[in-house]
Amino acid sequence: AEVDALDKDVPVADLATLESWVTEAMAQTRFLLALTVTFAGLALVLAVLGLYGVVSFSVRQRTREIGVRVALGASDRDIRRLILGHGLVVVGAGIVLGLAASLALTRIVSSYLVGVTPTDPVTFAGVPVLLLGVTALASYLPARRAAAIDPVQALREE
């Protein structure tokens, strides 16, 4: 109506709002973002399951050692701290290597980032905190199970 009011001889085609133009222009970026978030979430779930499996296997392999520790006076808290510490050391090394690789590869991903710098401090601080929290959660169940080991039963096994 506005174009028609200004000049009736101007042909009008492909009218759209600015919002729809921006939405269309950002469609590929949004798709890539959704895909990245989906695969990152899947990777986090697989990492948690893998870490839980490794820590559980480690606890199972160390049942006799844990039984000896309990028999010699280690408290439940000491055993939980031992198992949680083992998981956190492994993930801590992974975090250090991951941060180094992330810093090295920031140029490659910078073209996909919108509104965020490649070395965003919130991301570089938040992801390690998230991974440490997930590690503590994945290691807690095996640690709790290890703390409940009966020393007599553990020494009779194997």
**Tens digit of each residue's pLDDT (9 = 90 or more) over 57-97:** 988 888 888 888 888 888 999 999 999 998 889 889 999 99
- Checking if the pLDDT of 3 tops 90, the result is no
| Helix residue ranges, H only, 26-105 | 27-61, 63-71, 76-104
Nearest CA to 45 out of 137, 121, 122, 123 is that of 137
Token pair, residue 84, equals: 């949680």
Nearest CA to 135 out of 74, 79, 93, 75 is that of 93
Token pair, residue 46, equals: 């697989």
Which whole-number Å values give the CA distances from 98 to 3, 7, 91, 133, in the listed order?
Answer: 56, 61, 10, 16
Residues 107-117: what's their mean pLDDT? Answer: 79
- Checking if the pLDDT of 158 tops 70, the result is no
Yes or no: say if 136 and 84 are a contact pair by the CB < 8 Å rule: yes
**Whole-angstrom Cα distance, residue 139 to residue 21?**
48
pTM over 0.95: no
Yes or no: say if 64 and 154 are a contact pair by the CB < 8 Å rule: yes
Token pair, residue 5, equals: 């009011």
